[in-house]
Chains A and B, each alone.
Chain A
């Protein structure tokens, strides 16, 4: 098989599998901190028990995140050596900064959370919980700096065969860094909230009206609702930025083939690359112009502005983007319904709603994965947008059979991790259920 394709498969596999864990730990980190804060303030033992339970699950997920994350630090060098040499002057710095500013912080203070409850003061423990969350958010920041530079490179010049930094701050705060950082972190908090809502719903379905599940559900639901609504605005901000800085990507997301004024937004459709049209389309007239430019008659670039060889894969970009948005809309609806039930004091006893929440727990994960597929596939055929093609970035020395070997090896260990993590979490939840 082709080495470029194999290397892309390996990167997609390792990144997507790794990315199961960081979002949920970022979100759980915030909720654990909130619950620790409630315990600190009110001194009610129920919050202590909830926090202890969540920290156990958190530590399992975190360990899996660390284990799978190690690959990410090294595989730019192993599989993408030409890319690494081309961007090393810029791309390496955020990776190093991530380790120095984020990894040390989260790993060190997680040690306190897991092993230090009786060794430190309540205040120090609360601060540790906050620092674990802060560390994971900082980690998201630096890795998104690196990835955003691949999307919208800035603050550099080309010298010979490599990109050299000219302005560190412009490179770090390139046009897409901030919208993508907030978009991802808020998405992560939604993921963590829905995961905890799912567990709490399960506990409430199995043992009606228990206080443990009720308190846990309330905190997670409030956080889930708040951040789902926030994501609407942040997602919009990000979409505006993509339209401005990566117009080919937005055109692929929307299936917009022709540049036009008053561009419509597509609710559904199937992009056809040959006929250059969006088939079976359901459109809202002028909506894309309104959303992206705040002007119903604004011109939006279509795919016809770009050479066909520079189009991203259309179907993947289109569907991943639309699925993400559909799920984002669902998060707002379902959490607002929950708030309504909470207000009417029926939340903990409405079985059908709890069942929906339980089943909804994995959906934010899918939405996050869809978002990243849209972001990364939408960038193709570029590895660094406008500067280097993906096919030009692969390693010089590495052979296809070696990459195939590593794909098999990683797949095996990922299966092991997935089974083990699922088993351990189910076990912790069942244990908890017996002790309510």
Chain B
């Protein structure tokens, strides 16, 4: 039973790391036309995420694989239930990779511009879709007795979930801007600083409204908080990190600002996990759902997988940090190769 809980946390950790890491390159994607006014500026932006986006996206694949391994019923039920939404997500993920990877191989400036636009749009829609999915999970799904969801794509487009989708876009824009501050100088840096500041404020407003509407429309998400009132303190974390981020933005302490932006995302997703525990997908009527017991693999598999993670993940973290250090500092495209 403890293994099920460990895996619930591990899936959460993988997903949080995914959002923080791919979040900055998705944010750069959404903002590429706004931060980069000229072709050269946009090229610089591409170079800032070039060595990393693929590794970042692997966290999503890891999450998918780990969910399949540890909680196959969730993997099977959610992915087939969210069929069209997931297919669209895959479609935009592919489109984004193609535009982002190939734009610098193309000579025609007009086609490059087209690619930049598609890059921005697909990044935006990926974040929207993931946000809407999270909104629906928080809100709960109309599950049948066999834990299947028949609502289709239309069933996912409810006001609460769309709100969460927009909230996600705002958070990711802010995060992308804070990454641009870290990696860019000159004009792009000043634009990123302004955008980051505005979207920190917006994130705060959206967060507070989110608390209110969740309390009004999905009160059962606060059940865990009521049972352990000390958890209510966690609701303050996002505000704290936003305030710090705002301060560091003003002082142009780019490294600390990026860390605070990452911690803000961490704290939001922590609340998401605490509120939903022990469910992956709660039923909308509050009666059960897919949880970490009824959808899990056997104890054997959970243990084997834990061993795999304990061997593999430290190595991954080690070389990921090592490679980020290789590419530390502002991007300089005149220096051959980066």
Hey, which bits of chain A sit against chain B, CB under 8 A?
A: 59-60, 63-64, 66-68, 70-71, 73-74, 76-79, 81-82, 84-85, 87-93, 95-101, 103-105, 107-112, 114-120, 159, 164-166, 168, 395-398, 402, 405-406, 409-410, 413, 416-417, 420, 424, 427-428
Contacts and interface: CB of A to CB of B under 8 A. Distances in A.
A111 B305 contact: no
A118 B97 contact: no
B65 A98 contact: yes
Given A96-B69, A104-B316, A417-B94, 6 more contacts: A67-B93, A77-B75, A88-B297, A99-B65, A103-B58, A109-B319
Main secondary structure of the interface of B (DSSP, over half): helix
Which 7 A-B residue pairs are closest in the complex by CB-CB distance?
A88-B72, A77-B79, A92-B69, A111-B51, A92-B68, A96-B65, A100-B312
Interface stretch (B81-89, B162-170, B240-248, B270-278): B81-89
Nearest to A119: B326
Nearest to B54: A107
Given A88-B297, A119-B337, A405 B91 contact: no
A361 B320 CA distance: 36
B209 interface: no
A98 B300 CA distance: 19
Interface stretch (B98-106, B229-237, B259-267): B98-106
Interface size class of B (residues with CB under 8 A): 35 or more
B57 interface: yes
A100 B79 contact: no
B203 to A, nearest CB: 28
Contact of B76 (A82, A95, A112): A82
Contacts of B97: 63, 66-67, 70
B67 to A, nearest CB: 8
A168 B304 contact: yes
Contact of B65 (A73, A112, A427): A73
A91 B64 CA distance: 12
Given A74-B79, A99-B61, A91 B301 contact: no
A96 B297 CA distance: 14
27 contacts: A60-B105, A66-B54, A67-B93, A67-B97, A74-B86, A77-B64, A77-B68, A81-B76, A88-B297, A89-B72, A91-B68, A92-B66, A93-B69, A96-B66, A97-B312, A104-B62, A104-B316, A107-B58, A109-B319, A111-B55, A115-B337, A116-B338, A396-B148, A397-B83, A398-B83, A417-B94, A427-B105
B117 interface: no
A116 B73 CA distance: 42
A52 to B, nearest CB: 9
A93 B301 contact: yes
A71 B66 CA distance: 16
A417 B300 CA distance: 41
A11 B336 CA distance: 42
A74 B305 CA distance: 19
Contacts of A63: 97-98, 101-102
Contact of B62 (A84, A99, A416, A424): A99
Contacts of A98: 65
Given A85-B73, A97-B308, A115 B68 contact: no
A110 B55 CA distance: 10
Q: Which of B54, B90, B308, B313 counts the most A-chain CB atoms under 10 A from its CB? A: B90
Main secondary structure of the interface of A (DSSP, over half): helix
A413 B91 CA distance: 8
Nearest to A172: B304
A398 B151 CA distance: 11
B70 interface: yes
B149 interface: yes
B215 interface: no
B253 to A, nearest CB: 25
Nearest to B58: A103
Contacts of B210: none
B160 interface: no
A84 B327 contact: no
Given A74-B64, A118-B337, A397-B81, A96 B98 contact: no
A402 B86 CA distance: 11
Interface in B122-170: 146, 148-150
Contacts of A88: 68-69, 72-73, 75-76, 297
B326 A120 contact: yes
Given A66-B97, A409-B87, A115 B80 contact: no
A410 B75 CA distance: 21
A195 to B, nearest CB: 18
Given A96-B62, A111-B323, A76 B94 contact: no
A428 B72 CA distance: 44
Interface in B269-324: 297-298, 300-301, 304-305, 308-309, 312-313, 316, 319-320, 323
Contacts of A395: 76, 80, 83
Q: Which of B51, B70, B76 counts the most A-chain CB atoms under 10 A from its CB? A: B76
B51 A424 contact: no
